[in-house]
């Protein structure tokens, strides 16, 4: 995000604010979808997040990165609003396209692996799922995750460590070269 655009939006420039919201709306929706794993709920959460960003832009302080400030808003809305609905994470579905030079068996096994990884992430507790989404799907640094979720850095590291252990246990068959069947 361009700092000048953010400052203009904060100072009341409506066009700058609309431009800023348009720039972040896909990111906001994608994050919401990863957390709630439901298109309609993700659209609702993204809309609520964009409204909150619109109304709270004046409270953004440059001591935090803008993307982590946005991420905190989206993540909190998703966790708070959809906790009762057992939010889940989804990795984008990938169409199975068979290419001439690729092994069809590998493509099928990759599709099963992606499905099993999605299923394993869905089984993680909310706080572990959130850090996994931010780290591995949104490519946030540990510090950015800590800022986004308002957690101490060591807690983020601990959650990621435990989440990886849980995923390793849940995905045990793949470690041995097995396939679910």
State the Cα–Cα distance between residues 170 and 128, nearest whole angstrom: 14
pLDDT in tens, 30-70: 888 888 878 888 899 999 999 999 999 988 887 778 888 89
pTM beyond 0.95: the answer is no
Which residue matches tokens 């793949």?
174
Q: So what's the architecture of 1-85 in CATH?
A: Orthogonal Bundle (1.10)
Tell me what percent of the residues of the chain surpass a pLDDT of 70: 75
Domain with CATH 1.10.10.10 in the chain: 90-180
Closest CA to 109 of 178, 170, 35, 40: 178
Residue 94 pLDDT more than 50? no
Domain with CATH 1.10.1740.10 in the chain: 1-85
pLDDT of residue 44: 92
Q: So what's the architecture of 90-180 in CATH?
A: Orthogonal Bundle (1.10)
Residue 111 pLDDT more than 80? no
Contact 127, 158 (CB under 8 A): no
Residue 138 pLDDT more than 80? no
Q: What is the CA radius of gyration of the chain?
A: 18
């Amino acid at each position: 995000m361009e700092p000048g655009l953010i400052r203009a939006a904060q100072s009341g420039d409506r066009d700058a604010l609309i431009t800023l919201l348009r720039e972040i709306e896909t990111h906001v929706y994608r994050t919401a979808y990863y957390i709630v794993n439901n298109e309609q709920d993700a659209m609702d959460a993204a809309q609520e997040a964009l409204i909150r960003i619109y109304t709270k832009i004046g409270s953004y302080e440059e001591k935090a990165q803008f993307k982590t400030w946005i991420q905190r808003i989206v993540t909190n809305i998703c966790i708070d609003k959809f906790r009762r609905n057992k939010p889940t994470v989804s990795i984008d579905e990938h169409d199975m396209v068979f290419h001439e030079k690729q092994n069809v068996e590998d493509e099928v096994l990759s599709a099963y692996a992606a499905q099993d990884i999605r299923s394993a992430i869905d089984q993680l507790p909310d706080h572990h799922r959130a850090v996994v989404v931010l780290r591995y799907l949104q490519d946030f640094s540990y510090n950015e995750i800590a800022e986004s979720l308002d957690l101490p850095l060591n807690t983020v590291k601990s959650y990621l460590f435990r989440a990886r252990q849980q995923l390793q246990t849940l995905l045990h068959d793949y470690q041995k070269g097995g396939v679910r069947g």
